[in-house]
Structure 1
């Protein structure tokens, strides 16, 4: 059913200006082919179809139909979860293919916005349905603004020839207000099941959505902690007081199916194409820590039967070296894809649930907040850190003595033994350190592991904290970002410069520098 809606929305939403999205979004309907007899008349939705719009917004907001170009070829690489193994993709060498970057922008403005605005126009602002739509609006847009900085936000979906861009600080302010208001509404609606099974994350469980919203609020509070520490403290303490995720039962996991590419798990779908493998950063950290999650995150390389990774940013000549080939490096774990025993033969597990947010992240955010001197509830920075590790291990099926041994581990990351003879990426152990500097790196490193495979969030947090320590790419083809630096943002997309040029010109003035990948975002103070 979601696929039918998705196909028909695509037929309708062939517009260049995002300002037209709100107008055309109302035309989505499961009965489009039979009902839309007129070429210009809009179709009236029935109440039975509104939950499907929410389902569509959830799916598109997580980028699974466009996962490769929206996430994998950029954020996943910049977070160094993976490295590319094909010379055809230069994004690992910091080349910005602007047509690919559209895949991060378009799903939000042509799919998520029209669906959610229709729901906002349909439901009472005090309803649980309205609250859930508002939470997902904040989730979807926080990923967009953290890619670009200023974006069309307050006027998104409004019919207009030009749509203004908004400053990131104002967008974040609205995120906090939306999440606070949504939770206030949901607290009196806990017996309801908004959107039912069309809610493909929590099946209408209001209590879990409250925890999700508060955890997102906590995430965003830490994001602005260097640029606006007072507001960050206020928002973080309010989020924790209202209740955040604490157990694996609270993890936000999105139902996926194998019915179509739009419904499938995006990471599973692309993993068989032989275009990426585990990064050397992952290998250095996971092996050094004897991390049991390595067996869930990745699979032994077909050629070596061991876990192996390669450096990011290798050039075509380096990629054909034996140590850098697909068969000699680790694909993602058997949760997503399984090797059939022939090296290049893979079985995609398209219906595996997609990771949206894990409870473990909340503990690491609270650990950092505690180091900042904030009231993060009962506990200390160390106890939150340890609980975060336990929660992440539980997400991946580990508990008991082995986890406690890991928490007390004193071995640091190791040299990965890659083609570049790279040293160990860091020298910190898992066991809670004695200095604040070490503790902050430990929190950042374990949070990076805990949010895997969400490269969007991992890349954002790396830019904010510079943790975990990452290798510099071996080669960069980007004149603005040499291989001694890291990409800080995406430039504004070409279609916006062509169709919304005046607004883009004004948006550049909201940046801290030119419209380049080297210009830090508002909250990025490193």
Structure 2
């Protein structure tokens, strides 16, 4: 009898324990599905990694758009001196970076956010997709956007379809953001704006203006309508440096600093030397460090900076390692914690061009131009802006490569416009001033200057000295520039019908000399 009572007692005790088995046996340090959903962790954790991939590194940024915009140049004769910088394509990887690290996770997080009703996170991801794909398209032209994530051989969007989709998506994104400026869901995951939705709305609206100006020559009616919508939208634009969109480096070193100081593969460009020294531009000391060997700057000892010509004839890397590096402050992750993506100065220059094009709400071209220059000087902490804007005589200087024999790598500057605004100039001269200053102010992010150089012909940068283009990737005639990048090999091999359709939409051969949709080759006005 005692044994029976004991057995019943044990059974009852075990039953009581199993009633709370899950509670008593849960690891308090384990991440559960419920805890992931608290504070939006299950969706928000995607965003820092996506944003951090907007900029490429050496082979998908520095040796492409940094080179073609001529902000930086390499001393290194990669692959025997015949490579991207001399118009022979060796590296073409930005596509994979953006699709693998932004488009794919964005699709995943959008599905999760839609299922949970988190519309704000859906539209945040959609905005990041536009930030990314608006850059990828300036490499290739037609890209996969509307049909991303479908199975089989995927169809590309033509560029006209793509920009139409961008603008439609921005309508929805801006409407959602402007209606929810008090939303706090982004706070934990937003290293750029600290969760301030109103600033994300300004970025989205500024992107509309950027894209409208980009297509202003090829689709003037669409561009004007979209540009005027951006200028009139009550959410506003990025018009103060406090609203600038900077992409956090998340504790990592500034990309160009690693390339410059650790690998010795990038230096000041000769175009920067020519323009900044010629214009007596004090931003030079914020961008670059002076040389220690004064023999390199015998032609301008008061401005001891020396750059490398893009597309130069190079023999040995050591020849030009003592040319100007970027400023040493960029090598300190504690001082440089982010990368500039969209600034108030760019918005002012966009508005200045919009004014030249007669867009309602743009204001006066001169006021916008000078505001853009002032915002850039303020951002970089440079002095002397008043004298700079009043200078109507200084011009970019000619370039001499002190490490090359004779005239090798030398050039005569093609720029004949001064900094000071002259209201009697024609629109073409005014546009050259605007785009040249926009080019300088965009230091740290050379993507849009590369677009502008193709779209407008400005600044009038030197052509590459060594042009190795050939039938493999297409021929660039002397006195012309590389216009695009070929479709990537992974797509050529894995999606051949899609690439064939994309090439037809491109309107020319899949070569580096084929102009993109907005690069019309026609007059600017």
Pick the TM interval, shorter chain: 0.7 to 0.9
**Aligned-pair distance for 1:111?**
1.5
**Aligned-pair distance for 1:265?**
2.7
Match of 1:79 among 69, 89, 92: 69
Unaligned runs of 5+ in 1: 1-33, 36-43, 338-346
Asked if residue 94 in structure 1 is aligned to residue 87 in structure 2, the reply is: yes
Where does residue 415 of structure 1 map in the other structure?
Answer: 398
**Aligned-pair distance for 1:350?**
8.7
Aligned length: 461
Q: Cα 1:251–1:295, aligned 2, differ >3 Å: closer, same or farther? A: same
Where does residue 434 of structure 2 map in the other structure?
Answer: 443
Match of 1:171 among 148, 151, 162: 162
- Root-mean-square deviation (CA, aligned residues, Å) is 2.3
User: What SS does structure 1 have at the residue aligned with 2:341?
Assistant: strand
Match of 1:116 among 73, 81, 106: 106
Q: Cα 1:145–1:502, aligned 2, differ >3 Å: closer, same or farther? A: same
Q: Cα 1:107–1:222, aligned 2, differ >3 Å: closer, same or farther? A: same
**Aligned-pair distance for 1:353?**
1.2
Segment of structure 1 superposing worse, 226-235 or 46-55? 46-55
**Aligned-pair distance for 1:394?**
1.2
Q: Cα 1:365–1:239, aligned 2, differ >3 Å: closer, same or farther? A: same
**Aligned-pair distance for 1:333?**
1.6
1:504 & 1:139 partners in 2: Cα distance?
23
1:274 & 1:376 partners in 2: Cα distance?
46
1:149 & 1:294 partners in 2: Cα distance?
33
Match of 2:415 among 414, 422, 426: 426
Deviation by residue 1:172-199 (Cα, 9 ceiling, x = unmatched) = 1111111121111111211123321311
Runs ≥4 residues deviating over 6 A: 347-350
1:269 & 1:276 partners in 2: Cα distance?
9
Where does residue 316 of structure 1 map in the other structure?
Answer: 314
**Aligned-pair distance for 1:220?**
0.2
Q: Cα 1:194–1:207, aligned 2, differ >3 Å: closer, same or farther? A: same
User: What SS does structure 1 have at the residue aligned with 2:369?
Assistant: helix
Segment of structure 1 superposing worse, 125-134 or 276-285? 125-134
Asked if residue 267 in structure 1 is aligned to residue 256 in structure 2, the reply is: yes
Match of 1:517 among 487, 507, 512: 512
Match of 1:388 among 372, 386, 408: 372
1:452, 1:458 within 8 Å by CA — same for their partners in 2? no
**Aligned-pair distance for 1:421?**
3.8
**Aligned-pair distance for 1:299?**
0.9
Unaligned runs of 5+ in 2: 1-29, 298-303, 403-408
Match of 1:52 among 27, 40, 45: 45
1:308 & 1:376 partners in 2: Cα distance?
42
Where does residue 450 of structure 2 map in the other structure?
Answer: 459
TM-score, structure 2 as length reference = 0.83
Q: Cα 1:483–1:74, aligned 2, differ >3 Å: closer, same or farther? A: farther
1:93, 1:313 within 8 Å by CA — same for their partners in 2? yes
**Aligned-pair distance for 1:49?**
3.0
Where does residue 25 of structure 1 map in the other structure?
Answer: none
2:379 & 2:112 partners in 1: Cα distance?
37
2:119 & 2:146 partners in 1: Cα distance?
21
2:256, 2:266 within 8 Å by CA — same for their partners in 1? no
TM-score, structure 1 as length reference = 0.83
Q: Cα 1:421–1:488, aligned 2, differ >3 Å: closer, same or farther? A: closer
